[in-house]
Structure 1
Amino acid sequence: MTEAQWDITEADLDDLVAQVREAGQDTQEAEEIKAALSGGDVTPAEAAGVKRRLIVLALRYGGKALAWLLKHFSQEAAQYVIRHSQRLADFLDRAENWAVDKITRFLEGCGVPVQQAQTIARTIMAIVG
C-alpha cells in the first residue's frame, strides 16, 4: 500500500486535538502528532512511532481521526474496532512491540472472530508501516 493511502488531513488532526481537549486531557501528544504528520522532519522509524500514537489516540478519543482509521477496514471489521476501541487502545498503548499475531490474539480474547481479528491486526500494522 502506498503512503498516500494512509494520509490523514490536517483538519482530522485539528479535530483530534479538539477531541482530546474536550475530554479534559493534555493536548501535547496530539499536537506533537499533528506537527509530525503535517510536514515535520521525521525519519521512517519516527513516523512509525507517530502513527502508533495516532492510532491509540484515534481509538481513545474518536472524532475525525477515528473515522479516518475506520475507513481502512471493512464495515464488519470497523464495527468490531468501534465496539472494542477503548480496550484496543489500552492494549496497544501498553504493548512495547506491535505484531499481527499479538494484536490478533488480543482481539480474539475480546470475542472478535479470528478472520476479523486478523484483518484488523494486519490493517493496523500496514498503517504503522
Structure 2
Amino acid sequence: MGESAVSNAAITDAAELLTQKANLLLERLADRVMAAPTPGSRAWYAHRNTAAGSVKERLLVRIAIAYQAHFDLAEDIARARAAGAGWAEIGEATSLTAHQSRKRWDTTPAASRRQESGQLAIW
C-alpha cells in the first residue's frame, strides 16, 4: 500500500474479521433461505442432520448467495466438492454449466483428473 499510516497488520486483522463476519452472515442467510429453525435450537440441530439440511445442500445454498453477491467462492466450492457436490450442482448454484464451473474453480491438476477418470490422454 506504499507509504501509509495504516499498518499491514491492521489491514490483515480487518480482512480476517471481515471474512469471519461474512461467513457468519452467509450461514444465517442460508438458514433463512432454507427456512431453517432458529439457529442453535433443538429443531435447528435436528434439521441440520436431515437431507434437506445436509452439509452439501447448505454449501450449495451459500454458494448461490455468495455468487449473486459477487463473492470469491473458491473456499466454499472446495468444501462443497469435499462434501460430495458435483460440478453440475455447483454450476446450477452459480447459473453456469458444469463445464464452466469446473473450468473456473477446479484446482485439480489436469494430469490427476485424467488418472482419476481412467482415460488415457490421446495428445
- TM-score, normalised to structure 2, is 0.31
- TM-score, normalised to structure 1, is 0.30
Structure with greater helix share of residues: 1
Query: Is the radius of gyration larger for structure 1 or structure 2?
Result: 2
Q: Which has the higher contact order (CA 8 A, sep 6+)?
A: 1
